[in-house]
Amino acid sequence: MNKVKRAVIVAAGIGQRMRPLTLTTPKPLISVNGTRMIDSVIAALHANGITEIHVVVGWLKEAFASLPEQYPGLTLIENPYFDSCNNISSLYMAREHLEDVIILDADQIIFQPEILSPDFERSGYNAIWTDGETWEWLMQVEDGVVRSCSRTGGRGGWQLFSISRWSAEDGRRLRRHLEIEFEEKQNRQIYWDDVPMFCYPEEYRLGVRPMRREDVIEIDSLEELAAIDPSYRTVLGGNTHE
């Protein structure tokens, strides 16, 4: 059995689909029904005894400056490539912390802290089973191991969420592969998840961590934010008529 010892939270993105809010506030620091998104993630990590937390920042990075004081054990990692590269750059900057780690995006609301439980048998992603059609990344699993993943979704499979655990061995492997792709191949416009899923799938035997759809909400757009927190409907209306 493996155990998570640290967390990496990816929080460097520009959040273009949530403008105009993200012109002045980083997406992870936007409040949803009174709670900032990143605070819900950190609270869930703390509930599971995970206090070594590394937050990768980029866009409006100064706004995160108070987090280390607010949360002892939290450090900030600056991603200088955030505006020119995809999020592979964020995990590349945090590559020294990938052993026995849980990796999460900051732009989500965690409703059930249990989904971040530190104990795990196999490296892999939190996922929900979906019978219906989805455009999200969809994994097919056989004998507990991910055998394939579709970037364009499909029907009947495990929908991947941006919560994943990596053992010490797989974390070292992931670091090496990130360095090859980012440094040697200059492959900087991919998601970091592309590295284990599509660049080197034969070198990992990933599993899934089942959860329910209501356990977490990923917020990708201003429309989704307004649907969850009605106080943003006025912003949405103004944004629609620009």
Question: What are the structure tokens assigned to 239, written together?
Answer: 């944004």
pLDDT at 16: 81
pLDDT at 239: 54
pLDDT at 242: 38
pLDDT in tens, 193-205: 999 999 999 999 9
Q: Rounded to whole angstroms, how far apart are CA atoms 16 and 23?
A: 8
pLDDT at 74: 98
Token pair 């356990």 is at which residue? 215
Q: Rounded to whole angstroms, how far apart are CA atoms 77 and 166?
A: 19
pLDDT at 220: 86
N- to C-terminal Cα distance for the chain?
A: 53
CATH number at residue 128: 3.90.550.10
Structural domain of 222:
2-240
69, containing H or E segment: helix 67-70
Q: Rounded to whole angstroms, how far apart are CA atoms 188 and 151?
A: 18
Token pair 């990143």 is at which residue? 38
Q: Is the peptide bond before 20 cis (omega within 30 degrees of 0)?
A: yes
| Residues 206, 122 contacting (CB under 8 angstroms) | yes
Which one, of 125, 6, 118, lies nearest residue 54 by Cα? Answer: 6
Q: Rounded to whole angstroms, how far apart are CA atoms 110 and 215?
A: 6
Number of domains in the chain: 1
Low-confidence ranges of the chain (pLDDT < 50): 240-242
